[in-house]
Amino acid sequence: MPLTDQIKNLDRKLVEAKPVGAVLARLVHKPKPLVRAFADDGIAPNHPRFPFVLHRGAVRVHGAKLNAATIIDTLFSQNGWRSWRDSVDDFVHYHSRIHEVMGVARGLRQGPPVGTAVEGVATIGPCTCGPGRKRTPFA
């Protein structure tokens, strides 16, 4: 990530209002996860054993005075996870050696080009090595 993007992310995190304590707890929802496994599609290898797990609506944003990205950032921080806020590439790509947890504030397509579209806001899911992902037009 370019230095200018890192500075913008830090600046945003320093000045925006964040939910704390009971307010943050009220914004977190524990939906039943959606689990999807993707076969190698010739573009991204996906993963033969580890599925993509999706928690749609993991953060309640309706009626909240904060945006989904701020709530997700704060939730990750409270769990001791480093986070960065930026966009996902608009072409299919994958990580071959790392797993990550991704908070999606606006939109992402996970899996093959005909895979699961993670649309809307406030979705959190662990991303295993292999599954392809790209930003969608609504992101």
pLDDT in tens, 21-64: 788 788 887 878 888 787 787 888 877 788 878 887 788 776 66
Task: Quote the CA–CA distance of 37 and 137 in Å, as a whole number.
Answer: 24
Domain locations along the chain: 3-134
Tell me which of 37 and 126 has the higher pLDDT. Answer: 37
What is the pTM (predicted TM-score) of this model? 0.70
